[in-house]
Amino acid sequence: MSSSKSYQRADHYSRKAQAQGFAARSVYKLDEIDARFRVVPRGGSSSVALDLGCFPGSWSRWLQQQGVRVVGVDLRAPEFAGEWLVASALEVTPEALVGAMGGKADLLVSDMAPATTGARFTDHCRQIELARRALELTDSCLKPGGSFVAKVFDGEDAPAYIREVQGRFREVRRFKPDATRERSVEFFVVGLNRR
């Protein structure tokens, strides 16, 4: 797809998000991931999702609309009712997260991204540190059988990261949603059925 087509598509998603009351167009990435891989727990309000990097809140809002209870973590809290922990995911303890959820999550999602510098390798390293932290938190915060979604900026550590996810989940997929801009280095790693 040409970059002008890509931008038309991006505008389409931005307009749709605005019309549907979502704070960010990234909501359609999670929607597509769920349509493909069925990551959202279907147990109703007894199901819990941990949303790392939840601000401004479109993934959390969308998950709430699926009937899932959400605990969100970010450096800032979304501006609507929810259960938010204002903290760095690199520093918050697993005990604090499990305490906030009242148990382990059925789904752990991470759309975390650092403030980008424009230097591709630096951004990749900072982003993979966040994705690695999300994966590490699955050990203590996600139920066996649970699902995992993490954003990754592609780069030299991405294959090693995918192998690390494969060590913890029975099925692992790499996915680039249509809602991700064509020229973006971003993709998502989806882990199903935590060992």
Ligand X SMILES: C[S@@+](CC[C@H](N)C(=O)[O-])C[C@H]1O[C@@H](n2cnc3c(N)ncnc32)[C@H](O)[C@@H]1O
Pick the binder of ligand X from 74, 106, 123, 157 (CB under 6 A).
74
Q: Which of residues 102-141 bind ligand X (CB under 6 A)?
A: 111-114, 130
Q: Is 187 among the residues that bind ligand X (CB under 6 A)?
A: no
Q: What are the residues facing 169 on neighbouring strands? A: 194
Distance CA 98, CA 57 (A): 20
Our CB check for ligand X shows the closer of 55 and 148 to be 55
Phi first, then psi, for residue 154 (nearest 5°) are: -60, 150
Tell me how far, at minimum, the Cβ of 5 lies from ligand X, in Å: 23
Stretch in the footprint of ligand X (CB under 6 A) among 10-18, 41-49, 72-80, 94-102: 72-80
DSSP 116: P
For the chain, give the longest Cα–Cα distance: 47
Phi first, then psi, for residue 15 (nearest 5°) are: -65, -40
Note if 151 is an active site residue: yes
Distance CA 100, CA 83 (A): 8
Contacting positions for ligand X (CB under 6 A): 23-24, 26-27, 53-59, 73-75, 88-90, 111-114, 130
Active-site residues, by number, are: 151
